[in-house]
């Protein structure tokens, strides 16, 4: 257990106590803690917020949420500087990935197929309320050169991405819209084929839309006003990482999502324009903490 300066009240937990604990947890900085311990805290925090939003929450549910969040706080571990460095780049897809050229003839075909999948959750979605992203992860070597991360060496714990609402257009946010995140697999493996899709569970936070990826592009985000009739989203099961399993450890446990990857607001929602991002995030790679830096997508990196 690490010192987090989180003050705990004694007595039977109520919503006031839970609200106070949530506020203290939200003031913590994920960069200060290990990926695994922070991931557990994020899950407990989401549960606590859900209970707070439930007007019919029982005393037991409140107590369980409080205990779960306090346990996650107690389990936080301070992070140490790691050696690995990664860079994640974001833009709008303008080319068909090489691995999908045998499946799709154009980006438009990919867009339409993914929109069809998204409309299974929200039927009112249109081309104008959906955006197709091109996400690429690079490993930055000691000499400064970059190597694109593939399915074989993708971080086994995944990448938890947060996209700012400004990426989706003016007036789009968690209070006024519902969201659907669709991911398309680029390669065969782990029970799926290139071109198969999944609907990813996403969380609309105060600062952006969060979702975990175990491989990169293509990713579509779609949105619809809450005033529309929207069925309850039923996300597909948590995706299985595409990285090659460790043959020396076939019983390797399922990956745990890493801390959130927060992208700054770009203020640019024009289609066909590549958004440049610059920040550092934290991943767990090979048992050590790795910091991922967002940067602009150069000409040499265009697909």
Give the integer Cα–Cα distance in Å for 115 and 125. 8
- Local structure of 97: helix, strand or coil: coil
DSSP-based helix, strand, coil % in the chain, nearest 5: 25, 25, 50
Identify any residues that bridge with 147 across adjacent strands, giving them in sequence order.
139
pTM value?
0.54
Scanning the structure block, which residue is given the tokens 């579509």?
220
Instruction: Output the tens digit of pLDDT for each of the chain's 303 residues.
Output: 455 556 555 457 789 999 999 999 998 887 677 767 888 898 899 999 999 999 999 999 999 999 999 999 998 888 665 445 667 788 889 899 888 999 999 999 999 999 999 999 999 999 999 999 998 888 777 677 888 888 777 877 777 788 889 999 899 999 999 999 999 998 887 788 999 999 999 999 888 898 888 888 899 999 999 986 445 455 555 454 444 444 444 454 444 434 344 444 443 333 333 333 333 333 434 333 333 434 444 434 434
Strand locations in 19-143 (E): 85-92, 130-140
The domains found in the chain, sorted by start residue, are 15-74 (1.20.1270.90), 85-301 (no CATH)
pLDDT of residue 37: 82
For residue 106, the 8-state DSSP code is S
Give the integer Cα–Cα distance in Å for 87 and 261. 11
Nearest CA to 199 among 276, 86, 293, 122? 122
């Amino acid at each position: 257990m690490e010192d987090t300066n989180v003050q705990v009240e004694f007595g039977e937990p109520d919503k006031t106590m839970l609200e106070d604990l949530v506020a203290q947890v939200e003031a913590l900085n994920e960069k200060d803690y290990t990926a695994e311990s922070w991931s557990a805290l994020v899950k407990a925090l989401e549960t606590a917020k859900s209970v707070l939003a439930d007007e019919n929450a029982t005393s037991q549910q409140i107590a369980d949420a409080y205990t779960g969040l306090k346990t996650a706080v107690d389990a936080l571990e301070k992070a140490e500087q790691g050696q690995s460095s990664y860079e994640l780049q974001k833009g709008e897809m303008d080319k068909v990935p090489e691995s999908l050229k045998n499946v799709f003839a154009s980006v438009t075909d990919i867009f339409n197929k993914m929109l069809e999948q998204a409309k299974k959750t929200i039927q009112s979605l249109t081309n104008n309320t959906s955006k197709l992203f091109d996400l690429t992860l690079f490993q930055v070597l000691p000499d400064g050169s970059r190597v694109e991360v593939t399915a074989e060496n993708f971080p086994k714990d995944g990448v938890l991405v947060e996209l700012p609402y400004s990426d989706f257009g003016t007036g789009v946010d968690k209070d006024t819209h519902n969201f659907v995140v669709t991911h398309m697999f680029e390669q065969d493996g782990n029970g799926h084929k290139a071109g198969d899709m999944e609907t990813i569970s996403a969380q609309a936070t105060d600062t952006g839309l969060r979702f975990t990826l175990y491989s990169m592009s293509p990713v579509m985000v779609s949105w619809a006003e809450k005033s529309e009739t929207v069925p309850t989203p039923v996300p597909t099961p948590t995706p299985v990482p595409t990285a090659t399993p460790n043959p020396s450890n076939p019983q390797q446990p399922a990956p745990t999502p890493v801390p959130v990857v927060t992208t700054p607001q770009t203020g640019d929602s024009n289609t066909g324009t590549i958004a440049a991002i610059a920040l550092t995030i934290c991943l767990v790679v090979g048992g050590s903490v790795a910091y991922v830096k967002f940067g602009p997508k150069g000409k040499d990196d265009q697909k």
